[in-house]
Structure 1
Amino acid sequence: MRSEVLIRRTLRVPRVEGPGGDGSTVVRQLDAVLTGVGFVASRELLAHLDGLAPGAALDLAVDVVGAVRELVGDDVAHNAYFIDFPRNVPDTWDFWLSCLRETVTAHGAAVPAGVVNLLSLAGYGRYQHSYAELLAAHDELVASLKDRVTVLHLGGTLAEETTRLYTELAGSGTPLHAADLELLAELAAECLDHPMAIPVRENRAVVNAVRLAHGLPLVAVDTVVDVLRVACRASGGDVTLATPTRFRSFRRSERRVLLGALDAVVSANEGKLGDVARHAEVWKRLAAGLHPYEDDRFVRAREVFDVARGDRVVRSIAGRAEFAFRAGRVADAAGILAKAPGMLVRSLDRLLRTATDTGAVLTGFESVVGEVSGRVLCSLREHVANRSGVDSARVFAGRAKRAWVTVDARLPLPVDVIDRVRGIVDTELAARLSGFGPVVVDPAVLTVAVPLSGKAAEDGFAVLPRGSWSVVDGEVLRFFAYWREQARRTDYDLSALLLDDDFRYRGHVSWTNLRDGEVVYSGDLTESANGATEFIDVPLDKVGATRIVPQVNVYAGEGFDTVAESMFGWMVRDRAQKGAPFEARTVRTRSDLRGTGRVALPAVFSRDAAGRWSVLWTHLYLTGSPNFNQVENNRLTTGMLTRAVVERRYLMVSDLLGLLPGPVTTWTPDLVLTEPVTYVGLTRPDGLPEGSRVLDLGTLNQLVPA
Structure 2
Amino acid sequence: MALRLEPLVVRHTHRLPAPTAPAGQGAVAARQFDAALLSVGFKLSAALLERLSGLSEEAVVAVAARTLATVREMVGDHVEHNVYFVDFPANVPDTFDFWMRCIAEALADDVSRAGTPAQLGTGAVDLLTLPSYGSYAHTYAEMLAAHGELIAAAGDRLTVLHPGGTLEDEVTALYLALAGSTTPLGEEALRDLGALAGHCVDGPQPAAIPVRENRAVVNLARLDAGAPLLLDTVTDVLRLACALSDGDVTLLEPTRFRSLSRPVRRALLAGLDAVVAAAPAKLADVSAHREAFKRLGERLHPHEYPRWPHAAEVFAVARGEQQVRSFDSRVEELFAAQDVTGAARLLTAAPGRLFRALDRLLRACRTQDERDAVVAAAEQVAPQVAGRVLLSVREYFHNRPRQPGERRVFVNRRGRGWVTADTRPPVLPPECERLIAALDAELRRRLPAPGHLLIDPDILDVALPLSGNATAAGLGVLPRGSLSPVDGDLLRFFVYWKQTSRTTDFDLSALLLDAEYGTVGWLSWTELTQVEGEHSGDITDAPDGASEFIDLRLGSVRGDFIVPQVNVYAGEGFDEVEESFFGFMLREAEQQGRPFEARTVRMKSELRGPGRVALPLVFLRGADGSWRAKWLHLHLQGDPQANQVEGNQMSVATLVRGIVERDHLTVRHLTDLLAERATATTLWDGTTVPKGPVTYVGLGRPQGLHPDSVVVTPENLRDLIPG
TM-score, reference length from structure 1: 0.98
User: How far off its partner does 1:595 sit?
Assistant: 0.7
Q: Aligned pair in 2 of structure 1 residues 96, 323: CA closer, same or farther (>3 Å)?
A: farther
Deviation at 1:282, TM superposition (A): 0.9
Deviations 1:289-343 (A, max 9, x none): 2111221221111111011000112232223222332343322222222211100
Q: Choose from 463, 474, 477 the match for 2:477.
A: 463
Matched with 1:254 is: 264
Distance (Å, rounded) in 1 between the aligned partners of 2:698 and 2:304: 56
Pick which of 329-338 and 173-182 moved more: 329-338
Equivalent residue, structure 2, for 1:603? 617
Counterpart residue identity of residue 40, structure 1? K
| Kept after mapping to 2: 8 A contact 1:449/1:467 | yes
Amino acid in the other structure paired with 2:241 = A
Decide which moves more: 300-309 or 514-523.
514-523
Alpha-carbon deviation of 1:641?
0.5
- Deviation, 1:420, is 0.1
The aligned runs of 1:43-82 (5 Å cut-off) are 43-82=46-85
Shift of 1:392: 4.4
- How far, CA to CA, are the matches of 2:302 and 2:47 in structure 1? 57
User: CA contact under 8 A between 2:532 and 2:558: conserved in structure 1?
Assistant: no
User: Equivalent residues in 2 for 1:33-112 (5 A)?
Assistant: 33-107=36-110, 109-110=113-114, 111=117, 112=119
Tell me the residue number matched to 2:700. Answer: 683
Per-residue CA distance 1:471-512 (angstroms, 9 max, x = gap): 001011000000000111110000011100011111111111
Contact 2:402 2:428 in 1 (8 A): no
Rounded to whole Å, the distance in 2 between the matches of 1:279 and 1:612 is: 50
Q: Is 1:165–2:174 an aligned residue pair?
A: yes
Offset at 1:545? 1.3
Structure 2 residue aligned with 1:333, among 327, 338, 343? 343
Conserved 8 A contact 1:675-1:689:
yes
Task: Point out the more displaced range, 451-460 or 261-270.
Answer: 261-270
Of 12, 25, 42, 2:28 maps to 25
Deviations 1:541-568 (A, max 9, x none): 0011110000000011111111100000
Is 1:524 aligned to 2:545, yes or no? no
8 A contact 2:176–2:205 mirrored in 1: no
Q: Deviations over 1:14-59 (max 9, x none)?
A: 1111111111221222122111111110111111211111111100
Task: State the alpha-carbon separation in 2 of the partners of residues 643 and 597 from structure 1.
Answer: 19
Following superposition, the deviation at residue 388 of structure 1 comes to 4.8
Please give the alpha-carbon distance, in whole angstroms, between the structure 1 residues aligned to 2:425 and 2:688: 49
Answering whether residue 321 of structure 2 is matched by residue 306 of structure 1, we say: no
Q: For 2:500 and 2:337, how far apart are their aligned partners in 1?
A: 53
Q: Does 1:509 align with 2:523?
A: yes
Q: What are the equivalent positions in structure 2 for 1:339-354 lying under 5 Å apart?
A: 339-354=349-364
Quote the Cα distance in structure 1 between the aligned partners of 2:623 and 2:278: 61
Query: Out of 237, 243, 246, which is 1:227 matched to?
Result: 237
The residue correspondences of 1:529-544 to structure 2 (distance < 5 A) are: 529-544=543-558
Q: Once structures 1 and 2 are overlaid, which stretch shifts more, 588-597 or 272-281?
A: 272-281
Task: Give a deviation string over 1:202-221, Cα, whole Å, max 9, x none.
Answer: 101100011112222211x2
| Matched ranges for 1:413-452 at <5 A | 413-452=427-466
Report the counterpart of residue 215 of structure 1 in structure 2: 226
AA aligned to 1:177 is: G
| 1:201 partnered with 2:212 | yes
1:109 counterpart letter in structure 2: R
In structure 1, the partner of 2:125 is 116
Kindly state the Cα deviation for residue 596 of structure 1 after the two structures are TM-superposed: 1.1
User: Which residue of the other structure, out of 372, 379, 383, is the alignment partner of 1:366?
Assistant: 379
Is the contact made by 2:26 and 2:57 (CA closer than 8 Å) also made in structure 1? Answer: yes
Paired residues of 2:82 and 2:143 also in contact (CA < 8 A) = yes
Q: Which residue of 2 aligns with 1:674?
A: 691
The farther-off stretch of 103-112 and 182-191 is: 103-112
Q: Tell me, yes or no, if the aligned pair for 1:215 and 1:254 is still in contact at 8 Å.
A: no
For 1:245, the equivalent position in structure 2 comes to 255
Using the aligned pairs only, state the percent identity: 51
Give the match for residue 316 of structure 1. 326
How far does the alpha carbon of each residue in 1:324-375 deviate from its partner, in whole angstroms, 9 at most, with x for none? 3234332222222221110010010111112122111101111111111101
Paired with 2:623 and 2:518, the residues of 1 have a C-alpha distance of: 17
Bigger drift between 282-291 and 527-536 goes to 282-291
Please tell me whether the aligned partners of residues 141 and 580 of structure 1 are also in contact (alpha carbons under 8 angstroms): yes
- The residue type paired with residue 208 of structure 1 is N
The separation in 2 between residues aligned to 1:670 and 1:86, in whole angstroms, is 36
1:16 paired to 2:29: no
Specify the code of the residue in structure 2 equivalent to 1:424. A
The amino acid that maps onto 2:302 is: P
- Residues 626-671 of structure 1, C-alpha deviations (whole Å, 9 max, x = no match): 1111111111111111111000010100111111232432122343
Partner of 2:592: 578
SS of the aligned residue for 1:381 comes to helix
Partner of 1:143: 152
> C-alpha distance in 2, partners of 1:155/1:398?
37
SS at match of 1:385: helix
Question: Aligned partner of 2:272: which letter?
Answer: L
Equivalents in 1 of 2:398, 2:33: separation in Å?
49
Amino acid at match of 1:10: T
Equivalent residue pairs, number: 705
Segments of 5+ residues of structure 2 without an aligned counterpart are: none
- Provide the aligned C-alpha RMSD in A: 1.3
